[in-house]
Amino acid sequence: MSTTTQSPTTPEARTPGRTARLLGDRRLPVLVTAGLFLVMYVVGLSRYQNYGFAEPQVFMNLFIDNGYLLVAAVGATFVILSGGIDLSVGSVIGFTTMFTAWLVERQGLPIVVVIPMALAVGAFGGFLMGYVIHNFEIQPFIVTLAGLFLFRGLCLVISKESISIGDASVSSMAQTQVSLGGAFLSIGAVVALVVLAVAIYVLHFTRFGRRVYAIGGNEQSALLMGLPQGGTKIAVYTVSGFCSALAGLLFTLYIQSGDPLHATGMELDAIAAVVIGGTLLTGGSGYVLGTLFGVLVLGLIKSIIQFEGTLSSWWTKIATGVLLCVFILVQRAMTSRRT
Amino acid sequence: MAEPQPVLEMTGIVKEFPGVRALSGVDFRLFPGEIHALMGENGAGKSTLIKVLTGVYSLDGGTITLDGESVRFGSPLHAQHAGISTVYQEVNLCPNLSVAENIFIGREPTRWGRIRWKQLRREAAELVDRLGLDIDVTAPLSAYPLAVQQLVAIVRAVGTGDSDGEGSGTKVLVLDEPTSSLDRDEVLELFRLMRRLRDEGVAILFVTHFLDQVYEICDRMTVLRNGAHVGEHPVGELDQVGLVQLMIGKALGQLEELHDQQLHADVGEPFLRASGLGRTGAVAPFDLEIKKGEVVGLAGLLGSGRTELARLLFGADQPDSGTVTIDGSRIPMHAPNDAIAAGVAFCSENRRTEGLVPELTVRENIILALQAARGWTRPIPAAQRDELVTRYITALDIRPADPEARVGRLSGGNQQKVLLARWLITRPKLLILDEPTRGIDVGAKAEIQKLVVSLSEDGMSVLYIAAELEEVLRLSHTVGVLRDRRLVARIANGPDITTGRILETIASGEDQ
């Protein structure tokens, strides 16, 4: 068979065409979500112009009211990019509110001492789940489901009643406003934006971040390429646990109480935000910036429903469900085109 | 090849698995600047030797010397840092990352922990360029076909250890069956890259099932049989027949005999007739007749429409023109069920993905098609089932001869036999075999070919598709030649038909 005819490989076959490249571009879903946010915002402006929707503060409130969700969703982005899932987010948030309120109110510890403790507990919880997932090769779904029940149960161990926080330093922290010309942000919103910036940096400019993408793309390959895939996985869940605890602290500040039932099911909001932001649930493809737009879209739905005035808040859930469905179908169409 | 110091020397390598001695005292030498073939049948210990070398398996005995120093690798990463890189048959890269990133991931250039993307892309482009390839390193890997991905994997392997001071440059490159899913042009490009690396002084260990490729590119070869070293020869000193004899450990007569035997066999009435059958984008309309007991071979390049033609005859794809007549009655080819009911069986080329269920046992896999044909409400009596399974395991010499063995654990050749057994058990009148011998060793190949001959003598018609022309020619009464998705010629086989003649037809596109 050494004399088989050959035709030279054509250059077009080697370099993907322009349209194929655009449709296959992984940034496209982020652009779509950003576009959707813009359209919704413009629609809101035209409908509720006379009710103050155009106020810059309405826009800033999106960050203030959803800062904790953004932080939780950023953590979830790491996990989902690596091809995993973390269902314990909401419970860790709820636990952190209880833990913080209990230590500050019942034990009288100053908040500056409580914050690092809460973060350490959340990160350690995430580390443990990652350790179990990696070392015993158990599906993340089931391990983090166990985490979900564990942390929710721990809330009730602390107290069955909600604990409201009257501590002066917590209130002053919660009410601090960071002025931005005509509008202001809360400390929580600023922290959330800082977390977002750090996450973008870590995912795109550090080896750890690229390993997250690599194991999400093909875990077996990552292993054979000599990447420390186990450590990366554990680190990803640790990051998610840390972000959940941080989100819990922001939630505590926002709502100024601890309650065993706080943030029930918020992991699903976080996952929804990540998916609407264009990250593939199968891992390896997506951007944290997309997650920001995912959170903003969810927040904007809430705002619009508030402005509408007559709609029940359940419509938020319905709108989220519809959006999620549409985005998953769009993703499906895009991935099938890509392969 | 002068007699310099070997870059790699493995002496008396022993590797044991529970109950099996996979390698018993294998010696292996690799010199800088050579391409060395590691030959052997499936199960001869090639993969085990490579895995021992690259640190996937630990060593049970013997020594490995790299550049005069005794080494022992605990992991692939460890071996990589010492200068031994491996490219596996399946491309082990991340399709979601860019080409440049795939080349560099794990050792990206950084400053203060920040990845320097510009430098990374520039270095990747330089490396690709130095190796004489034309690949846009910024595109995602998934944008390229498998063959290019394979080249990228080699670029990565070569680049590993070139930077960062972590490694010492790639001295040994192990290529484990890199050509099994590439077509001819792609193989040539791979060979060009291999020669280039050889000339740069890299020692390349090349594993392949294609004997022609060994003679085309390799300088020396080492032959293994049953986990033992049976010879190390310069390629020029051992011809193909000698090599095959070394590999299977017995004379090759059986393969040559087949040809004459086949030509004298008689064929009977027409069994299947396709007229004007075609499907847009798959195969242009064609006429084809297959007689009872006839073996029709399909020849053509990869992608010339061989598989597509077979799928049309099986109803796996819907034809949009033409008719199929089987045994005189017209069959509406709506779905494979129509073809199966008419006595057609199809062994797919992707035995892993389209045929076998690796988690089930040999028995369950063999019985699957027969059970489906009977309908799920009429189970086959256990005694009859076991008798059938045992008969076919013996007839096809499936190893291990254990009906309860999981199919996923079997070697490629034995998996192919299980798939064959599954269809044979339904007693088809026409058996379509799409690349039944791909990726299996010489011994199993000969057995499958013998089986085809005896089936045809029993009156079964066979449509035989194979990439190797010699194989098609050896078995077929009639050879159909495909070119650019068109059946361009039907040649009655005879003593004057040679592979050269077929090649001319493929090349010119007309029957001369």
B92·A225 Cβ contact <8 A: yes
Residue A7 falls within a domain, yes or no?
Answer: no
B301 interface with A at CB cutoff 8 Å? yes
pTM, two decimals, is 0.71
**Helix, strand, coil abundance in chain A, percent, nearest 5:** 75, 5, 20
Of B456, B461, B427, nearest in space to B326 by CA: B461
Q: Is the pLDDT of residue B64 over 50?
A: yes
Strand partners, B486: B483
Contact present, A234 and A130 (Cβ < 8 Å): yes
The partner residue sitting opposite B188, judged by closest CB among A6, A206, A213, is A6
pLDDT of residue B77: 78
Closest-CA distance of chain B to residue A151, Å: 35
**A67-71, B40-44, B424-428: segment of lowest average pLDDT:** B40-44
A24·B140 Cβ contact <8 A: yes
H or E, element range at A335 = helix A314-338
- Give the pLDDT confidence of B126-177 residue by residue, as tens digits: 989 888 888 899 998 988 888 888 889 888 888 775 544 444 578 899 998 8
Long-range CB pairs of A43-50, under 8 A, 24+ apart, other chains included: A43/A304, A44/A300, A44/A303, A44/A304, A44/A307, A47/A307, A48/A304, A48/A307
Cα B246 to Cα B241: distance, rounded to the nearest angstrom: 9
Cα B436 to Cα B422: distance, rounded to the nearest angstrom: 14
B322 Rama class: left (phi>0) / alpha (psi -120 to 50) / beta: left
A15·B140 Cβ contact <8 A: no
Q: Is the pLDDT of residue B271 over 70?
A: yes
ipTM: 0.82
- Give the pLDDT confidence of B296-325 residue by residue, as tens digits: 999 877 667 888 888 888 888 888 888 888
Contact present, A122 and A68 (Cβ < 8 Å): no
Cα B347 to Cα A334: distance, rounded to the nearest angstrom: 33
Residue A65 belongs to a domain with what CATH number?
1.10.3470
Chain B residues close to A220, C-beta within 8 Å? 92
pLDDT of residue A66: 95
When divided into structural domains, chain A yields a total of 1
Long-range CB pairs of B165-168, under 8 A, 24+ apart, other chains included: B166/B81, B166/B107, B167/B80, B167/B81, B167/B82, B167/B83, B168/B81, B168/B82, B168/B83
A210·B97 Cβ contact <8 A: yes
**Helix, strand, coil abundance in chain B, percent, nearest 5:** 40, 25, 35
Q: What is the mean pLDDT of residues B478-488?
A: 85
Q: What is the mean pLDDT of residues B471-490?
A: 85
Q: How far is CA B28 from CA B41, B50, B205, B207, in A?
A: 17, 11, 11, 14
Chain B residues close to A3, C-beta within 8 Å? 500, 503
Strand partners, B38: B222
Q: Do domains B8-92+167-251 and B346-427 have the same CATH topology?
A: yes
Of A196, A178, A179, nearest in space to A187 by CA: A178
A1·B140 Cβ contact <8 A: no
Extract the tokens encoding B268.
């009977």
Please list the pLDDT of chain A residue by residue as tens digits (339 residues): 333 333 334 334 445 556 655 556 778 888 889 999 999 999 999 988 888 888 889 999 999 999 999 999 999 999 999 999 999 999 999 999 999 999 999 999 999 999 999 999 999 999 999 999 999 989 999 999 999 999 999 999 999 999 999 888 999 998 888 888 888 999 999 999 999 999 999 999 999 999 999 999 888 888 878 788 889 999 999 999 999 999 999 999 999 999 999 999 899 999 999 999 999 888 888 999 999 999 999 999 988 888 887 878 788 889 889 988 988 888 777 766 554
B8-92+167-251 folds as: Rossmann fold (3.40.50)
Q: Is the pLDDT of residue B194 over 80?
A: yes
Cα A201 to Cα A194: distance, rounded to the nearest angstrom: 11
Which residue range forms the structural domain that includes residue A310? 28-338
The partner residue sitting opposite A226, judged by closest CB among B80, B101, B148, is B80
- Is the peptide bond between B400 and the residue preceding it cis, with omega within 30 degrees of 0? yes
Hey, which CATH number is domain B346-427, 3.30.565.10, 2.60.40.740, 3.40.50.261, 3.40.50.300?
3.40.50.300
Q: CA torsion, points B238, B241, B246, B251, in degrees to nearest 10?
A: -140
Q: What is the mean pLDDT of residues B65-75?
A: 86
- E strand segments, A187-325: 257-258
A60 interface with B at CB cutoff 8 Å? no
Q: Is the pLDDT of residue B356 over 50?
A: yes
B143 interface with A at CB cutoff 8 Å? yes
pLDDT of residue B351: 64
Closest-CA distance of chain A to residue B291, Å: 29
**A202-211, B274-283, B347-356: segment of lowest average pLDDT:** B347-356
Q: Is the pLDDT of residue B341 over 70?
A: yes
Could you give the 3-state DSSP secondary structure of residue A256? coil
Chain A residues close to B503, C-beta within 8 Å? 3-5
Extract the tokens encoding A144.
């983090």
Hey, which CATH number is domain B252-343+459-512, 3.30.930.10, 3.40.640.10, 3.40.50.300, 3.40.50.2300?
3.40.50.300
For chain B, domain boundaries: 8-92+167-251, 252-343+459-512, 346-427
Extract the tokens encoding A254.
């926002």
- Tell me what the pLDDT averaged over chain B comes to: 82
Contact residues for A40 (Cβ-Cβ < 8 A; gap 6+): A297, A300, A301, A304
pLDDT of residue A292: 96
pLDDT of residue A134: 93
pLDDT of residue B48: 85
pLDDT of residue A10: 38
Give per-residue burial for A211-250: e unless 16+ CB within 10 Å, then b.
bbbbbbbbbebbbbbbbbbeebbbbbbbbbbbbbbbbbbb
Residue A1 falls within a domain, yes or no?
Answer: no
Residue A19 falls within a domain, yes or no?
Answer: no
pLDDT of residue B82: 85
B97 interface with A at CB cutoff 8 Å? yes
Instruction: Give the DSSP letter of residue B176.
Output: E
Cα A302 to Cα A307: distance, rounded to the nearest angstrom: 9
Chain A residues close to B113, C-beta within 8 Å? 206-207
Cα B482 to Cα A76: distance, rounded to the nearest angstrom: 53
